Copies of this chain bind each other. A is one copy, B any other.
Amino acid sequence: MSIEIPTQVVFYKIERAIKEYRKYAQKRISETVSDITVDQGLILLFLKHYPELSQKEIAALVFKDNASMTRMIDLMVKKQYLVRSTHSEDRRRYNIEITTKGKKILEKLPPVIMKNRTTALEGITEEEIDQVEKILDKIITNCTTNQ
């Protein structure tokens, strides 16, 4: 059975696109904010919008494993972007709060992120983005329902 080599397949291009975007975004972020990764920035953004999130919920939002999330948050606590405190209603989980240092980073992020998104999507119409999203949704559905 003969198959196409990977370079000719759409998944190859999806992989490349997201990796190039991440590389580009990380570069721009590092120019403005020191010592923060794209994913750490995402975690801060999510926590700002939804302060009640548990580690597990954050992990799901950023597509990470719970074990990875433990370690990422460990690190962000060590870097003093976050603090953990015990949850009053459920002692298995934590409250995760953004520190002053974390908030300062959060102030610097939005303009960089906006610029990254705009630059990366230059020359692409709203309609095209909708098309892509619709098709990616189909892929997501196909991969998650045929488990």
- Contacts from A to B (Cβ < 8 Å): 1-3, 5-7, 9-11, 13-21, 23-24, 27, 42, 45-46, 49, 61-63, 110-111, 113-114, 117, 119-124, 128-129, 131-133, 135-140, 142-144, 146-147
Which B residues lie within 8 Å of A15 (CB)? 18, 63
Assembled-state Cα–Cα distance A146/B27 (Å): 11
Let me know if A129 and B10 touch, CB within 8 A: yes
Let me know if B11 and A21 touch, CB within 8 A: yes
Most buried by B among A6, A17, A23, A61: A17
Copies in the complex: 2
Return the contact of A143 from the options B23, B113, B140, B142 (Cβ within 8 A): B23
Assembled-state Cα–Cα distance A21/B142 (Å): 9
Let me know if A139 and B2 touch, CB within 8 A: no
Return the contact of A17 from the options B3, B27, B136 (Cβ within 8 A): B136
CB distance from A16 to the nearest CB of B (A): 6
Contacts A19-B63, A143-B20, A143-B23; A131 near B135 (Cβ below 8 A): yes
